[in-house]
Structure 1
Amino acid sequence: MTVVRDIVYAPVSDWEKHTLDLYCPQAQANPHRSLIVFVHGGAWRTGDKNGFIDLAKNLADSTGDAVAVVNYTLSIAAIKNDPTSVPSKAQHPKHVQDVALAIGYLYTHAQTYGTYNPEHIFLVGHSAGGHITGLLALRPDQYLEPIEADLGLTKGTLHSAIRGVVGVEGIYNADRLLKRWPSYRDFIIQGFGQDPATLIHGSPAGQEIPQDSGFVLPRYAVIQSTQDELVDSEQASDYYVYLQSLASTSGDGVALEFGDWGTHDEMLQTPQFTKTITTYIHGWETSLE
């Protein structure tokens, strides 16, 4: 396996985290040669690609696909545990915009690394990463089309390249999460500010897809551990119902899967997690042949 670390996908600064790592198994491992983009969680304020080295290697070995682990700019308050003191420089939608930039970079630089098909991209987002990948899948008009314009790509290119999405214990409705867990107020304000409307309109489950936009929902799987102590299972089940309403018109499939896979963070370390992601992606790859 070849690992390329600290790839700069957009200009960096003293507060912006625009780097990613790329894990590439041997070329013969999988003739499909897709790209899996993993987006970590951490309540939009913590987390780093260096904490997911084993996960990335496990996914690359299991699927035979290239795996990119993306850093995005975090919402960090000036005073710890006092998010209202000085607003974070990075608030929604900065996190989503950063990952959109990473996808644009990975799409246009596939030949640089020569290890994957840029037309076959699969997104895997955990927790807050599930929020980010959800918005990328649902609102290409807001997040992907500006990148396409900057890169000189035809409108819809990046969204069409996203062939499937797996949301893992994702936060799909930030407003309802805060009502369910009032103690989460500090990191919600850090990430979204204090306008309640932002929580609703900035959540995947709160999106109203523009009419006559030609939108097609990618294949989508929502998976959740029943032992998750940080995100309630209704986030997954309610989001699944919402996605079904979109899939009924687009013709693509949506799946919901629960399992006894450990706590919120433990789930990512289990063999079942790797197996489940591999099963979905291999199934989707087969359908693309």
Structure 2
Amino acid sequence: MTSPPHRVRRPAATTLTYRARTDGSPADHTTLKVYPPAGDAPTADCLWVVFIHGGAWRDQAQTKDLGDSIVDSLPAHWGGASINYRLSPAVQHPDHVHDVLDALSLLSESQGFTAKTRVVLSGHSAGACLAFQAFYGLYMQQISALASGPAGAADLGMVFNSIVGVVGSEGIYDLVALADEYPAYVSFIEPAFGDRDHWAAPSPQHFEWEKLVTDYTKFMVVQSREDDLLSPAQSTAFVRRLTDAGWPVQFHLVSAGSHMDAIDHPTYLTLLRDFCTSVERAHV
């Protein structure tokens, strides 16, 4: 009787600190968990899947460790990372997304990203909002840096140009519409974003997506029908906004359990793996 094939295991995950604390936030809130790929190929040459947790920008129980089951479901020759970021009310927007950008910068530096590196950003709930904010923010920062010379834009461009996909699951994309549908959610929106007058600008639903349409980067939005905290309204409106702006976007309304169950539900993990495989093949 033959033995079952041996499953290649990736090296043990490591934790890196991407920002020195100055505001009293817990030390772990400015860390990045890195899951190196298996095999002998240079880490910069593989696909990297980066997870950003949710938790309404305030839940201490949701951390980078939620990325463990997601990365474990992916091929071992892909790299993985999971980002912690500072939470409200200790900090307020745009500090959350600045943390994500700093973490991506450290990931790029520590793994030696090159022009061959491909990255898929994935986020759940508030993390989905952060994933799209980070992608759009990288573009806007790159444009700003070009004004001060090519050297300033180079590092930002390396990270931005590596992103071949952005995935949102059970995402928050429009803070104004969220509060209109769920008035009780103002309790976590205000500490994270301030007064209502400041909610539209940081909402991905209201970004000027027409400015940066590209065939290079693909989007996927996933929403569980059984989500007990968010209706499909956020996702369907956001997909319509992206489509109207000319972006290639996949939308999947699926049965993947409750809001928290959907994080690593087999249906979602299969969609994520298939999406990442498709963008990897498109950029060989």
Q: Could you say which TM-score interval applies, normalised by the shorter chain?
A: 0.7 to 0.9
- Counterpart amino acid of 2:282? S
Distance (Å, rounded) in 2 between the aligned partners of 1:153 and 1:143: 8
Change (3 A) 1:10 1:128: same
Contact kept? 2:101, 2:138, Cα under 8 Å: no
Paired residue for 2:96?
A: 95
Paired residue for 2:226?
A: 227
Distance (Å, rounded) in 2 between the aligned partners of 1:27 and 1:178: 47
Distance (Å, rounded) in 1 between the aligned partners of 2:14 and 2:168: 25
Pairing partner for 2:79 from 63, 66, 84: 66
Paired residue for 1:82?
A: none
The Cα of 1:51 is off from its aligned counterpart by 3.7
- Counterpart amino acid of 1:226? R
Contact kept? 2:139, 2:160, Cα under 8 Å: no
Change (3 A) 1:35 1:70: same
* 1:201 counterpart SS class: coil
Distance (Å, rounded) in 2 between the aligned partners of 1:29 and 1:132: 30
Deviation string 1:201-223 (CA, Å, 9 cap, x unpaired) is 11000112585xx6637210011
- Counterpart amino acid of 2:20? P
Q: How big is the alpha-carbon RMSD for the aligned residues of Structure 1 and Structure 2?
A: 2.8
* 5+ long unaligned stretches in structure 1: 76-87
Distance (Å, rounded) in 1 between the aligned partners of 2:142 and 2:267: 32
Paired residue for 2:19?
A: 10
Distance (Å, rounded) in 1 between the aligned partners of 2:41 and 2:161: 25
Deviation string 1:140-176 (CA, Å, 9 cap, x unpaired) is 3445667998x85525332211110111111000110
How many correspondences in the alignment?
Answer: 265
Paired residue for 1:200?
A: 200
- Counterpart amino acid of 2:25? W
- Counterpart amino acid of 1:201? A
Contact kept? 1:37, 1:67, Cα under 8 Å: yes
Identity of aligned residues (%): 26
Contact kept? 2:120, 2:166, Cα under 8 Å: yes
Does residue 133 of structure 1 match 2:131? yes
Distance (Å, rounded) in 1 between the aligned partners of 2:273 and 2:42: 12
1:45-194, aligned counterparts within 5 Å? 45-46=58-59, 47-61=62-76, 64-75=77-88, 88-111=89-112, 119-142=117-140, 152-154=152-154, 156-194=157-195
Paired residue for 1:244?
A: 243
229-238 vs 138-147, which deviates more? 138-147
Change (3 A) 1:144 1:169: farther
TM-score normalised by structure 2 residue count: 0.83
* 5+ long unaligned stretches in structure 2: 1-9
